[in-house]
């Protein structure tokens, strides 16, 4: 998908000026779109033509929903039988508990995605028509593009054609309609299709799975905590929240809290935040969204399992218990392994960027975490990346998008039981 996207975005027809976009910029954009990150070295609205923007949004849609999901839909449309191996891969890709009903879940994923994106497109198009004074066709196009981008947590926007390059969503900072619709789209895309399916079926089943309970409760807690922390830390900052009225301060704080979960759009200048706030955003980006969603990061369930393991250790318990359910030890081990590998990945690429980019370390760490978490937020470093820096970020976006899923799949297959146990040893901890 990235190779195909790079080729298409390199064509003269993809450029608004008719001049080929440099190969490295096309590769960066294709990777960012396919991995639903949102980092951009050039302004989407002014540099790419309508053809290029359509290519980007198709990459975003395929990357957000998942390649295997799209391939399965095409196979079903062609009346092709889904093999056992393909069902197993789908089970891992969608983080489904069993192989039963995985094809049915794929159909739900596509249906729910299209319905949410359609609703978002209509709501946004109507508002863009009246607020930006666009033609009907242009307003509809803007609505579709931004709805797909926000629901898939990509963060690309076309506002550069209206308010200037890289203006983003900042002009809408005091617009409650755009803020609310965008936050809902990001939230629905970030909780995952399994949770979305559970919520839709809830009126009939009157129950939620353990996974859905963990995702929903943890997501709400992180949004609330993030909102309060941003509000408190930036309240008196003249470059961010101070010029806004009381309600505007709270709305902007909530928007930044929601979007750091993998949304990729911002109504405030992240580079103007206080360092304490920026570091808190790094932690939120590292945590990311839910498994089986359009978002990235180590996933919110991994974060909850780590907290559960710490709580169990402090309380002297052997098992991690969530909502009165015991979590298998191998799942906890996977969470710890995934978190450590993710940290090592961010540390490695932050060191590489520190060598090639002459920027302060906070900007580099923020950029690395944003790329790994497929968040798309930046403190302004993206447009100043050197050629080698762009390559580092391309690799980090790629690993961030496929890493957790492929790692879990690799750790859970071909398991062999040890034929013997080693004698127990003791080492001192702490």
**Beta-bridge mates of residue 48:** 15
Q: What is the pLDDT of residue 410?
A: 59
On average, the pLDDT of the chain sits at 90
Q: What is the pLDDT of residue 258?
A: 95
Mean pLDDT value of segment 339-356: 94
Mean pLDDT value of segment 65-92: 74
Q: What is the pLDDT of residue 96?
A: 66
Confidence band of 94 (pLDDT split at 50, 70, 90)? low
Tell me the whole-structure pTM to 2 decimals. Answer: 0.92
Q: What is the pLDDT of residue 76?
A: 72
**Beta-bridge mates of residue 15:** 48
Q: What is the pLDDT of residue 402?
A: 80
> What are 264-323's pLDDT values in tens digits?
899 999 999 999 999 999 999 999 999 878 888 899 999 999 999 999 999 999 899 999
DSSP calls for 55-112: HHHHHHHHHHH-HHHHHHHHHHHTTPPPPHHHHHHHHHHTT-SSSTTHHHHHHHHHHH
Q: What is the pLDDT of residue 66?
A: 76
Give the CA distances from residue 236 to residues 230, 240, 299, in Å, rounded to whole numbers and listed in that order: 11, 8, 32
Q: Is pLDDT of 404 > 70?
A: no
Question: d(Cα 241, Cα 80) in Å, to the nearest integer?
Answer: 55
Q: What is the pLDDT of residue 74?
A: 72
DSSP calls for 128-171: HHHHS---HHHHHHHHHHHHHHHHTT-----THHHH-TT-TTGG
Q: What is the pLDDT of residue 217?
A: 96
Q: What is the pLDDT of residue 83?
A: 78
> What are 223-256's pLDDT values in tens digits?
999 999 999 999 999 999 999 998 999 999 999 9
Share of the chain above pLDDT 90, in %: 70
């Amino acid at each position: 998908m990235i190779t195909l996207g790079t080729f298409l975005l390199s064509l003269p027809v993809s450029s608004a000026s008719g001049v080929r976009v440099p190969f490295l910029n096309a590769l960066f954009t294709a990777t960012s779109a396919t991995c639903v990150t949102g980092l951009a070295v050039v302004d989407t609205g002014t540099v790419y033509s309508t053809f290029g923007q359509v290519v980007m949004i198709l990459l975003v849609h395929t990357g957000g929903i998942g390649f295997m999901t799209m391939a399965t839909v095409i196979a079903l449309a062609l009346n092709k039988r889904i093999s056992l191996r393909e069902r197993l891969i789908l089970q891992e890709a969608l983080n489904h508990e069993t192989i039963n009903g995985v094809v049915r879940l794929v159909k739900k994923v596509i249906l729910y995605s299209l319905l949410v994106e359609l609703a978002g497109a209509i709501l946004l198009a109507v508002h863009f028509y009246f607020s930006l004074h666009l033609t009907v066709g242009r307003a509809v196009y803007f609505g579709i593009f931004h709805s797909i981008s926000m629901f898939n947590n990509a963060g690309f926007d076309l506002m550069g054609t209206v308010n200037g390059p890289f203006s983003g969503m900042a002009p809408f900072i005091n617009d409650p309609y755009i803020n609310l619709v965008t936050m809902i789209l990001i939230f629905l895309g970030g909780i995952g299709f399994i949770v979305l399916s559970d919520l839709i079926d809830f009126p009939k089943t009157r129950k939620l799975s353990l996974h859905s309970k963990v995702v929903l409760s943890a997501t709400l807690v992180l949004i609330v905590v993030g909102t309060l922390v941003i509000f408190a830390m930036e309240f008196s900052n003249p470059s961010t929240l101070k010029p806004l009225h009381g309600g505007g301060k709270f709305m902007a704080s909530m928007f930044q809290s929601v979007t750091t979960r993998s949304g990729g759009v911002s109504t405030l200048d992240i580079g103007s935040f206080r360092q304490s706030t920026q570091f808190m955003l790094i932690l939120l980006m590292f945590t990311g969204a839910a498994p089986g969603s359009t978002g990235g990061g180590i996933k919110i369930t991994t974060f909850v399992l780590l907290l559960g393991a710490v709580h169990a250790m402090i309380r002297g318990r052997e098992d991690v218990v969530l909502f009165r359910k015991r979590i298998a030890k191998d799942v906890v081990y996977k969470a710890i392994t995934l978190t450590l590998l993710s940290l090592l990945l961010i540390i490695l690429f932050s060191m590489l960027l520190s060598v090639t980019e002459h920027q302060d370390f906070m900007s580099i760490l923020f950029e690395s975490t944003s790329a790994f978490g497929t968040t798309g937020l930046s403190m302004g470093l993206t447009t100043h990346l050197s050629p080698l820096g762009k390559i580092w970020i391309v690799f980090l976006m790629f690993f961030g998008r496929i890493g957790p899923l492929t790692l879990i799949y690799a750790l859970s297959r071909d398991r062999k039981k040890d034929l013997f146990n080693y004698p127990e040893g003791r080492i001192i901890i702490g």
